[in-house]
Structure 1
């Protein structure tokens, strides 16, 4: 078993390297190379699919259940507010600056360190699969979705994202709806036609006032908001024949997308269709052993308003990691150095309770 200080120093070196390599979503081949090289130097056999890197513990036993350790190595593009070079890792006082340092580089290297710690151990209760994946920032098809069919089926997962090491046991889903209302065009002065705008407003008013019954302890109620509206007509004297609007629905873990769509179907006059049903709401029970392990370490449970690869996993997953979600996608992104070390120690202690 590696010493914590050694694991921390190696993780810090790896994070410096990852920051220095541009790895926008769909352009992660070079960070995948770096992670592959890092693990190979540890004499850990490495598997690769597209820009996804994965490995299993030394004494993998197909008769045992599997635990997945997952985080991502892609980043968003740096915004215009950066005052530092986003690809030049820089330590100032107790902070490491650089694009991807917080989201989710610190979580990724901390999970890798924990995996290395447990890699050579025998007689574990679970197999361990480590997966450093691509395209998380765009929920792409060539990231965790492409990898899941290739790895041993996990019983559950730990998803590394910046949560201040608290336990994100629930995560909102996102359902975007395109709605279309049909009427009949006519001359406004003669009160002709069937005004699609007025019909759409009736639906929008219902959306504004409707309250979903099931309120989550962790995520609160489902939130439904009309965010865009337009008609087919720009003339002042013509009744519009069609009106289109977009509904942004943030779904708690108590509703399936099918349930939401059924409620809309029963109440809206407009025709509608979801753009995507991939980013589902998720939850892991508080009494799940991995959640209880985190609670035993003094961590608190909460519902996360942000979406991660957890939404794409068809098995229970706990989102937890070093860093702060509030720093993600901000200019001059950084992570505290002690957050990385604490992250490694936390993951090792968390896993010890289940392994």
Structure 2
């Protein structure tokens, strides 16, 4: 069995290769080949569907519960603020720069190293399955959600996203609404008491000021933000419609359907939800996986950002090296020591969880 030191060195080498290989959402074929090569070099059989790759621990036992390890290898497009080549893995002063280094390449290679460390170990309390998923950034149809049917029943999961190796025990869901506010088209020179843009001001004010009753202990209140507005094509014509886009971050006290119903009751507009499946997710704060992290000094919190947790039906924990504030920023980077410490902590947390007595595995 390889040592964590060796696996860490190999993981950082892989991360550099991933950075240097463009992998925008739905275009991850080449990084999928790099991940497949990791499994081949470590003599680990794997499966692939589209650009998702997954593998099971050597001593997989159908009578045992299963823990999923997951992170993604797609990236967003680099923004215009980059001063460095986003596809050059530049290492300076302990920082490894490059697109996807922090979100979520560092998490992915750390989980690959951790899975490989445990791959041949016997007498674990849980099976392990690792999934390197595609299309996370775009919530696309060919991501993690597309292969869940091919996996065994999942009892709990660790989703690798940058959390500074703290324990994100809950995550807000996402509901995006296309809202159409109607009115009466007319010439701008005439009085029009039914201008849809003015009508939209009332709708926007409601989204800005409405407060949902239920506040989550971990995730806080539901947050609604109007992010786009579009109406009209000519200066002298009042349009018949004003279009809004609303981003709603849903806490674990509500379902997406419940939020949609409340919004529909309060505003005078036509509402089209883009999807309803990106749900809030959480794990019991007393879950043995969380307890294992807390014994190592890790703190718990609620995350406002969305990840592949949203498509999982089992309890899930967001955990990984890196800092979420660096994600999608220009000249993205991750510290080398964050990966080193991340692998060490992943191994310690899983050791505490996977080597527990079988009578304590019900959580």
Q: What TM-score bracket applies, with the shorter chain setting the length?
A: over 0.9
Give the SS at the match of 1:55. Answer: strand
Following TM superposition, by how much is the alpha carbon of 1:213 offset from its aligned partner in structure 2, in angstroms?
A: 0.6
Question: Is there any run of 5+ residues in structure 2 with no aligned partner, and where?
Answer: 355-363
The alpha-carbon distance between structure 1 residues 231 and 292, as it changes in their structure 2 partners (threshold 3 A), is same
Tell me the distance in 1 between the aligned counterparts of 2:13 and 2:193.
69
- What does residue 254 of structure 1 align with? 253
Q: Which residue of 1 aligns with 2:66?
A: 66
Q: Quote how far apart the aligned CAs of 1:332 are.
A: 2.2
Q: Tell me what 2:151 maps to.
A: 151
Deviation for aligned residue 1:188: 7.4
Structure 1 stretch displaced more, 8-17 or 103-112: 8-17
Partner-residue secondary structure (3-state), 1:136:
coil
Match of 1:83 in 2: 83
Whole-Å separation in 1 of the counterparts to 2:149 and 2:295: 33
The answer to whether the 8 A contact 1:194-1:241 is kept is: no
CA distance in 1, matches of 2:84, 2:193: 59
* 73-82 or 36-45: bigger deviation: 73-82
State how far apart, in whole Å, the 2-side matches of 1:13 and 1:192 are: 65
Distance 1:324 1:282 in 2: 20
- Please list the CA deviations of residues 7-31 of structure 1 after superposition, one character each: whole Å capped at 9, or x if unmatched: 1112122222222222121111111
1:75 and 1:192 map into 2 onto residues whose CA distance is: 47
Matched position secondary structure for 1:323:
coil
3-state SS in 2 of match to 1:354? helix
> What pairs with 1:175-194 in structure 2 (closer than 5 Å)?
175-185=175-185, 194=194
Check conservation: 2:257, 2:276, Cα contact below 8 A.
Answer: no
> CA 1:231–1:37 in 2, change beyond 3 Å: closer, same or farther?
closer
- Structure 1 stretches of 4+ moved >6 Å: 187-190
Separation of aligned partners in 2, 1:233 and 1:254:
41
- 1:305 corresponding residue in structure 2: 304
SS at match of 2:176: strand
Distance 1:284 1:184, change over 3 A: same
Contact 1:186/1:193 (<8 A) preserved: no
Relative to 1, partners in 2 of residues 1:17 and 1:282: Cα closer, same or farther, differing over 3 Å?
same
For 2:21, the equivalent position in structure 1 comes to 21
Does the Cα contact within 8 Å between 2:221 and 2:251 map onto a contact in 1?
Answer: yes
TM-score, length-scaled by structure 1 = 0.92
- Cα deviation for residue 220 of structure 1 reads 1.8
Would you say 1:286 and 2:319 are equivalent positions?
no
The alpha carbon displacement at 1:343 in A equals: 0.8
Kindly indicate whether the alpha-carbon contact (under 8 Å) linking 1:31 and 1:73 is maintained by their aligned counterparts in 2. Answer: yes
Q: Please say if 1:330 is aligned against 2:324.
A: no
Alpha-carbon distance between aligned partners in 1 of 2:96 and 2:352, rounded to the nearest angstrom? 30
Matches within 5 A, 1:38-117: 38-117=38-117
**Range moving further from structure 2, 184-193 or 307-316:** 184-193
- SS of 2:325's partner is helix
Corresponding residue for residue 160 of structure 1: 160
- CA shift, 1:310, in A, is 1.1
Q: 1:231 to 1:90 in 2, by over 3 A?
A: closer
Please say if residues 76 and 137 of structure 2, whose CA atoms lie closer than 8 Å, have aligned partners that are also in contact.
Answer: yes
CA contact (8 A) 1:102 1:333 kept: yes
Q: TM-score, normalised by structure 2?
A: 0.90
SS at match of 1:154: coil
Alignment of 1:134-149 (within 5 A): 134-149=134-149
Structure 1 unaligned regions, length at least 5: none
Superposition RMSD in Å? 2.1
Q: Is the CA contact 1:186–1:194 (under 8 Å) kept in the aligned structure 2?
A: no
State the number of aligned residues: 354
Structure 1 counterpart of 2:172? 172
Question: Whole-Å Cα distance in 2 between the matches of residues 228 and 41 of structure 1?
Answer: 48
Distance 1:190 1:14 in 2: 66
Equivalent-residue separation in structure 1 for 2:204 and 2:333 (angstroms): 41
Q: CA deviation at 1:225?
A: 2.6
Measured in 2, the distance between the counterparts of 1:328 and 1:194 equals 43
